[in-house]
A = this chain, B = another copy of it.
Amino acid sequence: MRTIHLALLGLGTVGTGVARILREQARHLESQSGARFAIRWVVVRDPSKPRGIELEDGILTTEVDRAISDPEVDIVVELIGGIDPARDLIARSLRAGKHVVTANKAVLAKHGRELFGVANASGRVIGFEAAVAGGIPIVAAVAQGLAANRISSLAGILNGTSNYILTAMHQQGIGYDEALAEAQRLGFAEADPTLDVDGNDALQKLAILSRLAFQSRVPLEAIRRQGIDTLADVDLHFASELGYVIKLLAVAREVEGKLALRVSPTLVARNHPLGQVHNEYNAIKVTGHAIGDTIYLGKGAGMMPTASSVVADLLDVAIGRAQETFRSLKLWDESPPGPPVSDDGSMPNRFYLRYSIRDEPGTLARIAGILGGHGISIASVIQHETSEDDIGSAVPLIIMTHIAREGAVRTALRETDALDIVRAPTVCLHVAD
Number of chain A residues close to chain B: CB under 8 A: 59
Contact B312 A146 (CB under 8 A): yes
Measured between beta carbons, the chain B residues less than 8 angstroms from A144 are 137, 140, 312, 315-316, 321
User: Which one of A59-67, A286-294, A424-432 is at the interface?
Assistant: A286-294
Known: A33-B328, A141-B141, A276-B273. A312 touches B148 (CB 8 A): yes
Given the complex of chains A and B, what is the CA–CA distance between A130 and B3 in angstroms?
34
- Chain A, residues 288-311, CB within 8 Å of chain B (1/0): the string is 111111111111000011011111
Chain B CB within 8 A of A136 CB: yes
Given that A33-B328, A307-B148 are contacting pairs, would A291 and B295 also be in contact in the complex, using a CB cutoff of 8 Å? no
- Of the residues B145, B315, B320, contact of A137 by C-beta under 8 Å: B145
Chain B residues near A234 (CB-CB < 8 A): none
B319-A328 in contact (CB<8A): yes
**A230 on interface, CB distance cutoff 8 Å:** no
A404 vs chain B, min Cβ distance (A): 28
Task: Kindly provide the distance from the CB of A55 to the nearest chain B CB, expressed in whole angstroms.
Answer: 19
Instruction: Output the least CB separation between A17 and chain B (Å).
Output: 7
With contacts A149-B308, A328-B319 known, is A294 near B296, CB below 8 A?
yes
A256 to B33, CA, bound (A): 27
In the complex, whether A15 has a CB less than 8 A from a CB of chain B is: no
Check if A328 sits within 8 Å of B34, measured CB to CB.
Answer: yes
Q: How far is the CB of A277 from chain B (nearest CB, A)?
A: 9
A337 within 8 A of partner (CB): yes
Shortest Cβ gap from A188 to chain B (Å): 14
Q: Whole-angstrom distance between the alpha carbons of A32 and B337 in the complex? A: 11
B residues less than 8 Å from A319 (CB atoms):
324-325, 327-329
Contact assessment for B312 and A150 in the assembled complex, using a CB-CB cutoff below 8 Å: no
Q: Give A2-61 interface residues, CB cut-off 8 Å to B.
A: 17, 21, 25, 28-29, 31-34
> Is A147 an interface position by the 8 A CB rule?
yes
Judging by beta carbons under 8 Å apart, are A290 and B276 in contact? no
Q: How far is the CB of A29 from chain B (nearest CB, A)?
A: 7
The answer to whether A135 has its CB under 8 Å from any CB of chain B is yes
Residues of B within 8 A of A215 (CB): 31
Q: Specify how many copies of this chain sit in the oligomer.
A: 2
A271 within 8 A of B: yes
Residue A74, interface by CB 8 Å: no
Task: Scan residues 302-346 of chain A and give those whose CB is less than 8 A from a CB of chain B.
Answer: 304-305, 307-312, 314-316, 318-321, 324-325, 327-329, 337
Which residues on B sit within 8 Å (CB–CB) of A141? 137, 140-141, 145
A129 at the interface (CB under 8 A from B): yes
B297 contacts A294, C-beta separation under 8 Å: yes
Q: Provide the residues of chain B in CB contact with A17, threshold 8 Å.
A: 290
> Is B328 touching A304 in the complex (CB atoms < 8 A)?
no
Across-interface contacts of A149 in B (CB, < 8 A): 308
Closest partner residue, chain B, to A337 (CB atom): B31
Q: Do A147 and B312 contact each other (CB < 8 Å), given the known contacts A135-B294, A294-B296, A297-B295?
A: yes
Q: Are A290 and B315 in contact (CB under 8 A)?
A: no
**Contact partners of A312 in chain B: CB under 8 A:** 144-148
Q: How distant is the Cα of A21 from the Cα of B149 in the complex, in angstroms?
A: 8
A298-B294 in contact (CB<8A): yes
> What residues of chain B lie closer than 8 Å to A321, measured between beta carbons?
144, 321, 324-325
Distance in angstroms from A142 CB to nearest chain B CB is: 9
Instruction: Look across to chain B and name the residue whose beta carbon is closest to the beta carbon of A329.
Output: B32
Can you name 24 A-B residue pairings with CB atoms under 8 Å?
A29-B147, A29-B148, A33-B147, A135-B294, A137-B140, A137-B141, A140-B140, A140-B141, A140-B144, A144-B321, A145-B312, A146-B308, A147-B311, A148-B308, A271-B276, A273-B297, A290-B307, A290-B308, A291-B299, A293-B299, A294-B296, A319-B324, A320-B324, A320-B328
20 new A-B contacts, CB < 8 A, other than A34-B327, A135-B294, A296-B296, are A25-B148, A32-B329, A33-B328, A144-B312, A144-B315, A144-B321, A145-B312, A147-B311, A148-B308, A148-B311, A148-B314, A289-B304, A290-B308, A291-B299, A292-B298, A292-B305, A295-B298, A319-B329, A320-B328, A321-B325
